Each structure stands twice: as structure tokens, then as C-alpha cells.
Amino acid sequence: MSTATLEMPSKPTTRIDQTIAPAGVDRIVLTGFMGSGKTTVGALLAERLGWKFLDLDREIERRDGRSVPQIFRESGEAHFRRLETAALASLLGQRRLVLALGGGAPEELGNRLLLEQTPHTAVVYLSAPYATLLGRCTAQAADPEATARPVLADLAAAEARFHARRPHYERIASHSVETSRLEVEAAVEAVLGTLRG
């Protein structure tokens, strides 16, 4: 049995079962603050469904040729947000896709409208208290492979962003899963469970 947690995922068992895809859903978009598990849960969820997984930040980096921290440093956050909207708009047409958003994506009205107006799109909010999220981000930052999170450079501002964003996460989500006590596999099951109703 896997003991994976959202903080330190171990290699999960691969189990592809395409019959468990929720009816009427062509794409699942995971939203939530940094550290909510969007990437970890999303990758395993896609594997379970036999769907493609994309992380919006990695997609922005692939298109731009720079890392997210580099884009923030060299071109500013506003430019990063424009790249984020362009990447989101171009990916939402794909079917059988699990897409992990960046934590700030729902702050932009244009992104919220894109999500709302794309049919057959389930938006799942992975929630947790701020202290839990920050703890996970701190643990992840110790990994030399992890991409830095420029928004965490100012912790007081990051907490203010968390509170400002929460209503947006809640409003755009068709479903939500509280992840603070869930290991990765359990979070995937909870997402599938809530999508099946």
C-alpha cells in the first residue's frame, strides 16, 4: 500500500481504468493555492483515467523558454499573467485532459470566464488551510528539483493573496475536495468520487 502524502509523494502504483472517467466530463481542471496538490494529484488522476496531464506552469515555460521565476524576474508578474491566460485559452480545447492551474490563475477575470465558458469542464478546488499549504510549499522548496515560487518571497503578501483568492477558487469550482488530511491516492479517489456524484 502506498504511503504517499501530498508533501512527499512516493511512486504510486499505476492503474489505468478508463471506465472510471466521470460521465459528461471532457476535462478536469484542478485549482487551489500553491501547495494544494494540483500537480501531484493531477498527474496521478490522469494516469488513473488514461488521460493526458498538463501543468499550466510547465506549459508556459515550454512555450516561453524560460522558467516561471525567470519570467517573473525579467518580465514581471503582469507579463507572466498574460502568458498564463494565453496558455490556458489554448489548452482548454483539449479533451481527455487533466490540467493543473497555477495558484494565481483564478485571480484573472479572463481566466475565470474561460473556465466557465468551456463546456464539459469540471473545475475541482483542492483546499487546505493556509498553514498546511505553506508547510507543504516549504517542504517542497527543500527539493533542489522544485521550481521556486516567486509569490512566496513575501509571506505576508502571500497570505493576503490566499484570502483574496479563496472566494475565486470557490466560485469557479464545480466540485471541491479538502485535502489537508488526505494522502495523494486518497485525494485522487476523493476527486473521482465527487465528480461521479
List interacting residues with ligand S3P (CB under 6 A).
Answer: 34, 38-39, 57, 68, 102-104, 149-151
Q: Which is nearer to ligand S3P, 42 or 185 (CB)?
A: 42
Cβ at position 170, least distance to ligand S3P in Å = 16
Cβ at position 120, least distance to ligand S3P in Å = 24
Q: Which is nearer to ligand S3P, 9 or 21 (CB)?
A: 9
Which residue number has the CB closest to ligand S3P?
102
Q: Which is nearer to ligand S3P, 21 or 80 (CB)?
A: 80
Q: Which is nearer to ligand S3P, 21 or 35 (CB)?
A: 35
**Geometric angle at alpha carbon 162, from 158 and 167, rounded to 5°:** 155
Given a contact cutoff of 8 angstroms between Cβ atoms, the answer to whether 150 and 68 are in contact is yes
